[in-house]
A and B are shown apart, each in its own frame.
Chain A
Amino acid sequence: MAPLISRRLLSLIFVIFSITFLTFIVGSLAPGDPILVMMGPRRDPAIYENLRHQYGLDLPWWQQYFNYVGGLLHGDLGMSYRYQGRSVNEILGGGVGVSISLGFAALAVSLLIGIPLGILAALRQNSWFDRTSMITMLALFSIPTFVMIPILRAFNYYVLYKNGLPSLPPAGWGTPAHWVLPVIVLAAVSMGYMARLTRSSMLETLRQDYIRTANAKGLPQRRVVGVHALRNALLPIVTVIGPAMAFLVTGSFVVESLFAIPGVGFIGVQAISQRDYPVIQGTTVVLAVAVVVMNLVTDILYTVLDPRIKSEG
């Protein structure tokens, strides 16, 4: 496994540098001067020049890039253009914990509901339960986030709040109740996907010869499904956890913005609209690291579930 990890770590460095370079080039080619955005329509030309100098924007682009990479090697993501005297590390620092915990909660919910639902549906193939649950899962998978949020909020307001039932805060962050709606929305897509994938993978596995053998041996159904079938049926699920995390990351941009949750996605969206390039670059680097690390974790899990893969590593 060691060569696998070291190879991945090497590729991580490559990925991060490509990403910083691309965001940097796009940023410097894009129209709109960040200092102009900062200062607004009225300004003093002298202060404008002064600020450009402070942020090193008067240097040639390659020099700016090398300065940036130099800082990156020291773990310094630079200073925000938008927030006076605040570093990107500090701005993103608070957001990373929020996004990670929200992402894992959503992943946990989608796995804890999606997998059992898929297994049950497979065991009762073509039953009433199978059809309705799979249609629901298909709906969850297909409804765009920005449609689901107003539906949930309307439900929360008209059905719960208006009738004096305990309702949920429709936005914000802080108490455990604030987690519920965003976790549902974030989990919905991957839950739908997981459930459907588990079902088909389980059906596939249940048709295998060794399951027939296990049944013929007279093993209890619980053991046949829970041990022999499940372990093999889960392999494809593990494969999609990586992409599912990527889904959660992209989903977080919308979900965090609409729920006013101070995570990385929320900070990133704001930075884009304000041309706060250092924060945009910082967000991209952090997310890229997250995706690469998740893929690495997936690969390791894979070898645990299927020992044959280890030898190929």
Chain B
Amino acid sequence: MSWKKMIPLFVLVLVAVVAAGCAAPAPTGQSAAQPAAAEATAPAGVQKLIWSVEGVNELPGLDPANPQNAQSIQAINLIFGGLVKLDDQLNVVPDGAEKWEVSEDGKTYTFTIREGLKFADGAPVTANDFAASINRALQPETASYGASFQLGHIVGANDVAAGNAKEASGIVVVDDRTLAITLDDNVPYFLAQLTYPVSFAVPLQAVEKDPTGWTEKAFGTGPFQVKEWQHNQKLILEPNPNYWAGAPSIAEVELPFFQDSETAYQLYRTGGLDIMGSQQNPVPAAHVAEVKDSPDFKTVASFATRYIGFNNKLAPFDNPQVRRAFALAVDKATLADKVLSGAVTPTDRIVPAGFPGSQLPVKGLAFDAAAAKQELAAAGYGADNPFPQVTFTYGAEGDNERVATFLQQQWKENLGVDVVLQPLELATFSKNLDTTYLTPEAGLQFYLSIWGADYPDAQNFVSQQLRSDSPNNNGHFENADFDKLAMEADTFIGSAEDRLKLYNEAEQIAVDQVGWLPLYSPSFNVLIRPEVSGVVATGQGLVFPDWSQVTSRAAQ
């Protein structure tokens, strides 16, 4: 019997099985999953937004003091609010504070808390709530991974983080509506740092009542509050009736979790989701061709740069000429168009396109095989002194394998250098990166990595990644001119443009000396159903500028 004849039979069996499957399920497990009830409660005419959270099957937590991954931040930003937030142009705009003043030396910020600001439960929010929330995030008992990093410039923050004090001396509650924060230096990116969840206002009474369980019904000063957290499945949010900008028009936001973006895509295309795709987990590349002409498809270059890092403390990459040779030998256009099917934007610089500072040009090391060979020869490698075999390390995930193989071939063809590839499971890879930072002589030679923005300020890319004293400078890039410019910019008093010029000069040095070998910015591909309005795709993720104007489809 031929296969063609078998197909109808196979379909028949399938249908039979489907029918049987419909009838079979015993209701025993229903109580554990407790599903339909929540979906059925929304009355007709009410709008509901289903927005997938991808890459995880559960949120690690909803405490803004300890946002452990991008997925948590996606949810935290809907529930909580801080003193300031970002708008859809990524400017810092008022949130819980209606205005603020900066002292002339740039070290003291005086915030005026919004009049009548309330938590979702109706309790008033005062300057003291913000002060206490920030102190709580810093305290070692909170075990926040990011707080002391993001808020470390506040005077006394390090004493609190070390457990020597309960309150940072730099945070002063002047009166109910006035909060003064003093920094140890002029930190122009401080306001941008305050848009990161660690400084958000948390309802301390609820936290004290149930220190481990309060996030099950988390609420704050954001547009929504938790209605129900179905663990390992979804988070259901309802509007915060006391939201200062007016309660959202969407009656319910559902955030279902999907470990695998493919699963989310399947659900989207059968009408089960309103929004899918995030910076970390964009629409799967395999499906981009299917959807790229659909009105649902939106794409922007994300604020992230995939790059190659070098161990600057180990030969042969301690020599800038060798690093330049490796940079000049990579044809990034082919990498982006052919290897990664156009899903990325190639780049020759450190600051991603569209990010503050990217408007000033940088002259990159464009692909030039002849120049690459010259650099390698100038570094003293040739027939009589062959280049040693080197090992290129990367985390075994996503497109890394294909990218690494392509790079290996480029360096072989254009430089005649043999590179051994070393894929490592992600956790092991980060451990190795760590070793590279702590004990460079025992570390990796060069590696594939990525950096995504925490907050929209050039400092977050230039200084934080490559200043010789930065803990993020895993490869120990060190250049005195670069350091001088970056340090000056980090504490600059004056116009924003002049400050960006300093970063631009520093970036040019880092590109010339190959502190990083930038490859590309991944595209942030997202699918948004046409019924959804009031959402803007930015390089930093999706932004809903005004929740009262957001519409979605009617709930069933």
Binding site for B on A (CB under 8 A): 31-33, 36-44, 46-47, 50-51, 54, 82-86, 91, 94-98, 100-102, 104-105, 108-109, 112-113, 131-133, 135-136, 139, 152-153, 155-157, 161, 167-181, 183-184, 187-188, 191, 257-260, 262, 266-267, 269-270, 275
Contact = CB atoms under 8 A, between A and B. Distances in A.
B32 interface: yes
A157 B378 CA distance: 60
Given A32-B427, A36-B430, A41-B433, A82 B263 contact: no
A260 B17 contact: no
Contact of A169 (B17, B162, B267): B267
B57 A262 contact: yes
A175 B32 contact: no
B480 interface: no
A294 B430 CA distance: 41
A26 B14 CA distance: 42
A131 to B, nearest CB: 8
A174 B35 contact: yes
A132 B9 contact: yes
Interface stretch (B18-26, B349-357, B514-522): B18-26
Nearest to B474: A41
A174 B21 contact: no
B44 to A, nearest CB: 18
B35 A94 contact: no
B134 to A, nearest CB: 16
Interface string B214-239: 01000000000000001111000000
B146 interface: yes
Given A83-B61, A104-B26, A171-B266, A257 B259 contact: yes
A155 B425 CA distance: 35
25 contacts: A31-B428, A39-B145, A42-B472, A44-B148, A46-B161, A47-B161, A82-B60, A94-B33, A97-B29, A98-B29, A100-B29, A101-B28, A113-B17, A136-B9, A152-B14, A155-B14, A170-B263, A171-B266, A171-B272, A174-B35, A174-B233, A175-B39, A183-B24, A260-B233, A270-B259
A267 B25 contact: no
Given A157-B269, A262-B231, A183 B143 contact: no
Contacts of B215: 84
Given A170-B263, A170-B272, A43 B60 contact: no
Nearest to A266: B57
A149 B99 CA distance: 54
A39 B57 CA distance: 18
B499 to A, nearest CB: 24
A181 B471 CA distance: 49
Contact of B25 (A39, A50, A94, A101): A101
Given A97-B29, A260-B259, A176 B22 contact: yes
A161 B434 CA distance: 49
> Counting chain B CB atoms within 10 Å of each CB, which of A44, A100, A170, A258 scores highest?
A44
A129 to B, nearest CB: 10
B33 A43 contact: no
> Counting chain A CB atoms within 10 Å of each CB, which of B31, B35, B145, B472 scores highest?
B145
Contact of B233 (A91, A168, A173): A173
Given A102-B29, A183-B24, A262 B233 contact: yes
A111 to B, nearest CB: 10
Nearest to A140: B13
B232 A267 contact: yes
B270 A157 contact: yes
Nearest to B215: A84
B347 to A, nearest CB: 21
Given A156-B270, A169-B267, A170-B272, A84 B66 contact: yes
Given A47-B140, A84-B66, A174-B35, A36 B431 contact: yes
A163 B30 CA distance: 31
Contacts of A183: 21, 24-25
A36 B36 contact: no
A189 to B, nearest CB: 13
Given A31-B431, A32-B425, A36-B430, A260 B57 contact: yes
B143 A54 contact: yes
B260 interface: yes
Given A84-B60, A109-B21, A260-B57, A38 B270 contact: no
Given A113-B17, A136-B13, A262 B232 contact: yes
Interface string B29-51: 11111011001000000000000
